[in-house]
Amino acid sequence: MSDYLWDKTGEPDAETERLENLLGQLRFQPTPFDLPAEIPAREPRPAPLPRSVFTWPRLALAASLTLAMLAGAWLMLRQQSGATNGPAEMAKQNAQMNAGGKQVSPAAPKADGGATETKANDEGKGDETPAVAPTQGDETQREEHTAVRRRPRLPDLANNRPRRLPHAAAPHSSRGESAKRRDNLTPPPPEPAQREEMARAEREAAEKVLYALRITSEKLNYARQQVQDTSRGEDNR
Amino acid sequence: MYNVEATGELLLSGHTQPTAPREAADERGQESALVEQVRAGDREAFGRLYARYGRLVHGILLARVPYGEVDDLVQDVFMTALRKIDTLRDTGSFGPWVAMIARNRAMDFHRRSRETTEVTEAVAQTRAEQREAVEVLNLIRQLPEAYREPMILRFIEGMTGPEIAERTGLQPASVRVNIHRGMKILRERLAGDAGKGQ
């Protein structure tokens, strides 16, 4: 292949030469360049910000530090709010619950207390009037619910979380019938002795789990040791 | 199949004849010195840059805008280059930089959407002996974009392949392939036109 087309060396191709001659008429004819008397000055560009200050790694570091600080602050606030709802607060809440949520407790019915609570809930309905006029269906439903919920609720002592007050403690005149029915079905809070017992049971369960974990860990260590001894013995051979 | 073989052959032959690196380095050094002189306010140095890169800018514009508009646009491009020469970071790359300015200027020209009338006028204004050349130029301008610039720089501006590669900053192998492929297509189209004429 002739290289004339590439670098004008070698034998020229007839058609290439003809095209060169023909198209050469359109070649650039350098005319004197009309430089203006004054070369227009470039618009002054604003000084760029120093790169050393705004580099990506620095920005990323600053962002992560800010995030860490925010997360720390949030955690502290959360812990503080948890601390305010400590045992004293819980005891107060429990006392409130004991005073306000027992009208349907089948385990410990109180003659007088039930009447006052019902009054508080139903805003002045008669002493013997229940929160909701009991129909036969409601009665059976209530029995089912109490049967299901008879299992006492475990107080969240481990997390020290405040317990929600039952709705009955905060009476609202505008609440619907179903809400009232739900309130009446709220199980009674456990007695202090019962709570202590449950806490003890929780502690025992936690100890058992820890003991089991310890045993598992020991077993794993023993197994690892055995494997190491075996491999060492094979290497010595 | 044919194209692949041809490309391989062309690339290999390109490797056997590399452009002299020392010459290229000298050119870059001269170019860099000229740019520095222009920045220092030397008007003659800019005249030398104009003489050196005028053909390149002319060819790039010819590939994109009507023939009658090119001379004015060349002046525009060099004026822009003069105004912005302080923004050129690598002073040894004046060629690729001014080529980019020329391409952008051609795009600006098309944004004004005057092409249709201008082409007609340009053809009408050309002399009779130039008419055939303008027709062939129009055929070249119908080639795929990658082939247009090297073909015009080679046939109209009379530059060699290595020169085109050096001035535009393109790879010599790419320029070589584009010139050969463009020439092949142009031959076919010229033969087709001749067949229609008969």
Q: Do A30 and B130 touch (CB under 8 A)?
A: no
- In this predicted structure, what is the pLDDT of residue B148? 93
Q: Of residues A25 and B115, which shows the higher confidence score?
A: A25
A8 inside 8 A of chain B by CB: yes
Average pLDDT over residues B36-55: 89
- In this predicted structure, what is the pLDDT of residue A188? 67
Q: Assign B142 to helix, strand or coil.
A: coil
Amino acid identity, position A17: E
- In this predicted structure, what is the pLDDT of residue B174? 94
- In this predicted structure, what is the pLDDT of residue B160? 93
User: Which chain B positions have a beta carbon within 8 Å of A48's beta carbon?
Assistant: none
pLDDT in tens, chain A (237 residues): 558 899 888 888 888 889 999 999 899 988 877 776 666 555 555 555 565 656 777 888 888 889 999 998 998 888 887 665 555 555 665 666 566 544 444 444 444 444 444 444 444 444 444 444 444 555 555 555 554 455 555 555 455 555 555 544 445 555 566 666 666 666 667 788 888 898 999 999 999 999 999 998 888 888 888 888 877 776 665
- Report pLDDT digits (tens) over B133-164: 888 999 999 999 899 999 999 999 999 999 99
Nearest CA in chain B to A40: B83
Q: How many other C-beta atoms can be found within 10 angstroms of the C-beta atom of residue B11?
A: 15
- In this predicted structure, what is the pLDDT of residue B18? 45
The answer to whether B65 and B106 have CB atoms below 8 angstroms apart is: yes
Q: Do A7 and B162 touch (CB under 8 A)?
A: yes
What is the C-alpha end-to-end distance of chain A, expressed in Å? 72
What b/e string do you get for A84-114 counting C-beta neighbours within 10 Å, with b at 16 or more? Answer: eeeeeebeebbeebeebbbbbbeeeeeeebb
Nearest CA in chain A to B67: A26
Q: Do B75 and A34 touch (CB under 8 A)?
A: yes
How many contacts does A have with B, using Cβ atoms within 8 A?
85
- In this predicted structure, what is the pLDDT of residue B27? 74
A43 inside 8 A of chain B by CB: no
- In this predicted structure, what is the pLDDT of residue B120? 54
As a whole number of angstroms, the distance between CA B16 and CA B24 comes to 17
Average pLDDT over residues B28-54: 88
Cα dihedral angle (B190, B192, B193, B195), rounded to 10 degrees? 120
The answer to whether B156 and B137 have CB atoms below 8 angstroms apart is: yes
- In this predicted structure, what is the pLDDT of residue B105? 93
- In this predicted structure, what is the pLDDT of residue A92? 62
User: Which chain B positions have a beta carbon within 8 Å of A31's beta carbon?
Assistant: 71
Q: Assign A3 to helix, strand or coil.
A: coil
As a whole number of angstroms, the distance between CA A41 and CA A35 comes to 13
Look at chain A and count its residues.
237
- In this predicted structure, what is the pLDDT of residue A138? 52
A18 inside 8 A of chain B by CB: no
The answer to whether B182 and B143 have CB atoms below 8 angstroms apart is: yes
Q: Which two tokens stand for residue B197?
A: 């004429």
As a whole number of angstroms, the distance between CA B196 and CA B193 comes to 5
Q: Which of A19, A34, A43, A45 to mutate to test the interface with B (most CBs of B within 10 A)?
A: A19
- The shortest CB-CB distance from B156 to any of A27, A35, A39 is to A27
User: Which chain B positions have a beta carbon within 8 Å of A26's beta carbon?
Assistant: 62, 67, 130, 133-134, 137, 156
- The shortest CB-CB distance from B67 to any of A1, A26, A36 is to A26
- Report pLDDT digits (tens) over B50-100: 999 999 999 999 999 988 889 889 999 999 999 999 999 888 899 999 999
Instruction: For residue B63, give the DSSP letter.
Output: T
Q: Measured on CA atoms in the order B147, B149, B151, B152, is the torsion positive or negative?
A: positive
- The shortest CB-CB distance from B86 to any of A6, A26, A42 is to A42
Q: Which of A28, A29, A34, A42 to mutate to test the interface with B (most CBs of B within 10 A)?
A: A28
- In this predicted structure, what is the pLDDT of residue B143? 93
Q: Do B160 and A28 touch (CB under 8 A)?
A: no
- Minimal Cα–Cα distance from A14 to chain B, Å? 12
Residue B41 has pLDDT above 50, yes or no: yes
Q: Do A31 and B71 touch (CB under 8 A)?
A: yes
Q: Do B59 and A39 touch (CB under 8 A)?
A: no
What is the ipTM for the molecules in this complex? 0.77
A46 inside 8 A of chain B by CB: no
Residue ranges in B63-127 assigned as alpha helix (H)? 70-84, 94-111, 115-125
User: Which chain A positions have a beta carbon within 8 Å of B74's beta carbon?
Assistant: 28
Residue B8 has pLDDT above 50, yes or no: no
The answer to whether B172 and B154 have CB atoms below 8 angstroms apart is: no
Residue B180, C-beta contacts closer than 8 angstroms, at least 6 positions apart: A5, A6, B6, B10
- Minimal Cα–Cα distance from A5 to chain B, Å? 8
pTM: 0.50
- In this predicted structure, what is the pLDDT of residue A78? 84
- In this predicted structure, what is the pLDDT of residue B26? 75
- Minimal Cα–Cα distance from A51 to chain B, Å? 17
As a whole number of angstroms, the distance between CA B28 and CA B36 comes to 12
Nearest CA in chain A to B75: A33
